[in-house]
């Protein structure tokens, strides 16, 4: 797995690299005994010369942070100091459940039971060319999970335990370590709240921090299920446009908002990546307006070009950013496990709120997943899956270039498991009729908009369709797009 690293500030790249690695060591992202990334790989990742990387490693050795072993690499020798989180620059003013909830959490994590129900879309009928959501590039590590679940069952034995509402200590620690290494997230295990998928994470953050009538800025287009949660809990929604650099911070309301929901690493549905200057501007905006940022790190595990993108949460120094993720794409959506990383000041309220929503996400599944992280099975599975998805993506982009008609825009597919295309001249009703006649299953992106523009926008998932069918599927889609394209005014 690549090590997410961003060079700070300006100046010679070698000095900035030394500073970034030194901070990673002192911050605990690189532990004593851990090997630094290979110099050749790190140089390619950052787009700098290998000599610059080697010189930076030598500087860290001379400063006593690392030791070089001939033929083995460079290893960390310094332990991170005890973590002392600085207090947020703005005292967090809790609202919603975060202010009203004073329910104690028992030592065993027990809390008042709450019955929640959710509905998932049933899978559609098989079709020859299926561009609907799904995971099929690599087999899910079912055998490894089965062994881990059997170990978890033996661990629990006959003793009754509903688990701690914030999650298994082992899994929280494993997630904190994984996120620090892969996503540059700054968090202790105590800040990680295990939830039943990203939907519950959004719900928990909303109940913690919002009152009915509070304004929430959402991306336009954006994730419709997030919009549904905010609306159901009484928030006023303020759409903010998205372009090729992600959410346009300049369009945020001047009078402010209580929360901004953003998908910076892989915007849904466009796939845009939030530009670094916009990330910094958004963090500044949140601090100036006493607002919260809910960073949904959607699909961040799968990136096909460029270096790993550090999470925005790792850049937050004011304690205004909550970080949301799930294991649905990394492993499997049926696991129903996600995580919400909250600032230190919100931990007590978040644990209390989670215990009221439900007693705990499945303790047995959490222990099994902790096993998979600790054994390295998750990282091995990610490497296998990336190979499969990268091959599917290459087939998809080649088919787009060969078959899509003029006037259809394909947004860059730098990560994730889907492509976003715009066909402004295609009639959506006719297109769905034409694609159905050709055995092509598609996803209309209209639900992602508060006010959908004219024409058709599609989300094409490439995780489940076999590579051998991708080109034929795109060719059939292209035929349907031509058949559904509206004639230009004045055309005969």
Phi, psi of 417 (to 5 degrees): -125, 15
* pLDDT value at 398 more than 90: yes
pLDDT band at 106 (very low <50, low <70, confident <90, very high): very low
Q: Which value, to the nearest 10 degrees, does the dihedral of the CA atoms of residues 467, 468, 473, 479 take?
A: 130
- Higher-scoring residue by pLDDT: 280, 138: 280
Query: For residues 215 and 238, is the Cβ–Cβ distance under 8 A?
Result: yes
Which CATH class for the 379-484 domain? alpha beta
pLDDT band at 46 (very low <50, low <70, confident <90, very high): confident
Q: Residue 113's pLDDT is what?
A: 30
Phi, psi of 66 (to 5 degrees): -140, 165
Cα distances from 389 to residues 73, 137, 142, in angstroms, run 31, 6, 19
N residues, the chain:
492
Cα distances from 9 to residues 13, 19, 419, in angstroms, run 10, 10, 33
Phi, psi of 397 (to 5 degrees): -65, -35
Q: What is the mean pLDDT of residues 236-242?
A: 95
Q: What is the mean pLDDT of residues 170-195?
A: 93
- Residue 423: which H helix or E strand, with range? strand 418-423
Give the whole-angstrom CA distance, residue 32 versus residue 80.
8
- Higher-scoring residue by pLDDT: 229, 122: 229
pLDDT band at 304 (very low <50, low <70, confident <90, very high): confident
Q: Angle at Cα 164 formed by Cα 158 and Cα 166, nearest 5°?
A: 150
Q: Residue 112's pLDDT is what?
A: 30
Cα distances from 27 to residues 21, 81, 385, 434, in angstroms, run 10, 8, 30, 55
Nearest partner of 22 among 85, 101, 77, 69, judged by Cα: 77
Q: Residue 153's pLDDT is what?
A: 78
* pLDDT value at 174 more than 60: yes
For every residue of 66-83, DSSP letters joined together read: EEEETTTEEEE-PPPPPP
> Kind of pairing, strands 456-461 and 246-247?
unpaired
Q: What is the mean pLDDT of residues 151-159?
A: 66
* pLDDT value at 96 more than 50: yes
Where in the chain are the domains? 13-76, 97-109+162-375, 379-484
CB atoms within 10 A of CB 281: 15
Tokens of 418: 């889907």
Q: What is the mean pLDDT of residues 28-55?
A: 88
Task: Give the three-class secondary structure for 240.
Answer: strand
For every residue of 312-372, DSSP letters joined together read: GGGG-SSS-EEEEEESTTTT-GGG--EEEE--GGGHHHHHHHHHHH-S-S-HHHHHHHHHH
Give the whole-angstrom CA distance, residue 75 versus residue 248.
41
Q: Provide CATH code, domain 13-76.
A: 1.10.10.10
Using left for φ > 0, alpha for ψ between -120 and 50, and beta otherwise, residue 64 falls in left
Tokens of 72: 């083995």
Q: Residue 20's pLDDT is what?
A: 87
Fold of the domain spanning 97-109+162-375: 3.40.640
Nearest partner of 52 among 20, 23, 13, judged by Cα: 13
pLDDT band at 135 (very low <50, low <70, confident <90, very high): low
Four-residue CA torsion sign, 120, 122, 123, 127: negative
Q: Residue 289's pLDDT is what?
A: 93
In terms of Cβ atoms closer than 10 Å to its own Cβ (0-12, 13-18, 19+), residue 179 is buried
Window from 106-120, 338-352, 446-460 with minimum mean pLDDT: 106-120
Please name the residues in contact with 188: beta carbons below 8 A apart, sequence gap of 6 or more: 83, 85, 176, 344
pLDDT band at 358 (very low <50, low <70, confident <90, very high): confident
What does the mean pLDDT of the chain come to? 84
Nearest partner of 27 among 88, 83, 86, 76, judged by Cα: 83
pLDDT band at 116 (very low <50, low <70, confident <90, very high): very low
- Higher-scoring residue by pLDDT: 328, 405: 405
Nearest partner of 385 among 442, 328, 452, judged by Cα: 328
Helices in 242-346 by DSSP H: which ranges?
276-288
- Higher-scoring residue by pLDDT: 132, 295: 295
pLDDT digits (tens, 9 = 90+) for 65-84: 888 888 889 999 877 655 54
Query: For residues 103 and 110, is the Cβ–Cβ distance under 8 A?
Result: no
Residues of the chain with pLDDT > 70, as a percent, come to 85
- Higher-scoring residue by pLDDT: 77, 313: 313
Q: Residue 489's pLDDT is what?
A: 45
* 472 upstream amide cis, omega within 30 of 0: no
Q: Which value, to the nearest 10 degrees, does the dihedral of the CA atoms of residues 346, 347, 353, 356 take?
A: -170
């Amino acid at each position: 797995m690549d090590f997410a690293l961003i060079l700070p500030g300006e100046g010679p790249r070698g000095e900035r690299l030394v500073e970034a690695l030194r901070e990673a060591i002192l911050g605990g992202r690189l532990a004593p005994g851990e090997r630094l990334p290979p110099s050749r790989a790190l140089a390619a990742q950052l787009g700098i010369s290998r000599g610059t990387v080697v010189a930076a490693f030598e500087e860290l050795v001379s400063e006593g942070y690392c030791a070089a072993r001939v033929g083995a690499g460079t290893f960390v020798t310094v332990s991170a100091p005890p973590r002392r989180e600085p207090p947020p620059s703005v005292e967090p003013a809790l609202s919603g459940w975060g202010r009203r909830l004073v329910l104690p959490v028992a030592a065993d994590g027990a809390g008042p039971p709450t019955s929640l129900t959710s509905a998932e879309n049933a899978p559609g009928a098989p079709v020859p060319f299926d561009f609907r959501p799904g995971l099929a590039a690599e087999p899910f590590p079912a055998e490894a999970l089965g062994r881990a679940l059997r170990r978890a069952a033996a661990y629990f034995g006959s003793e009754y335990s509903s688990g701690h509402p914030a999650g298994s200590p082992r899994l929280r620690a494993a997630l904190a370590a994984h996120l620090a290494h892969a996503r540059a997230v700054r968090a202790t295990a105590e800040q990680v709240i295990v939830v039943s998928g990203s939907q519950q994470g959004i719900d928990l953050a909303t109940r913690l921090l919002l009152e009915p009538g509070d304004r929430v800025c959402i991306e336009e287009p954006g994730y419709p299920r997030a919009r549904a949660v905010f609306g159901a809990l009484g928030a006023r929604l303020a759409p903010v446009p998205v372009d090729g650099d992600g959410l346009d911070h300049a369009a945020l309301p001047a009078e402010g908002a209580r929360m901004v929901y953003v998908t910076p690493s892989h915007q849904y549905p466009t796939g845009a990546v939030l530009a670094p200057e916009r990330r910094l501007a958004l963090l500044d905006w949140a601090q100036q307006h006493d607002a919260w940022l809910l960073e949904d790190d959607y699909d961040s595990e799968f990136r096909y070009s460029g270096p790993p993108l550090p999470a925005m949460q790792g850049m937050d120094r004011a304690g205004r950013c909550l970080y949301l993720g799930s294991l649905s794409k990394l492993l499997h959506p049926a696991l129903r496990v996600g995580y919400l990383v909250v600032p230190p000041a919100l931990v007590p309220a978040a644990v209390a709120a989670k215990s009221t929503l439900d007693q705990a996400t499945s303790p047995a599944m959490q222990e099994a997943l902790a096993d998979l992280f600790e054994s390295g099975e998750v990282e091995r599975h990610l490497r296998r899956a990336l190979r499969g998805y990268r091959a599917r993506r290459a087939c998809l982009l080649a088919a787009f270039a060969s078959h899509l008609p003029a006037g259809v825009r394909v947004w860059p597919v730098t990560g994730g498991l889907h492509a976003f295309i715009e066909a402004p001249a295609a009639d959506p009703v006719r297109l769905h009729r034409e694609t159905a006649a050709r055995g092509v299953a598609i996803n209309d992106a209209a639900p992602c908009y508060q006010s959908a523009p004219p024409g058709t926008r599609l989300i094409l998932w490439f995780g489940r369709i076999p590579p051998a069918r991708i080109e034929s599927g795109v060719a059939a889609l292209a035929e349907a797009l031509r058949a559904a394209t509206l004639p230009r005014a004045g055309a005969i």
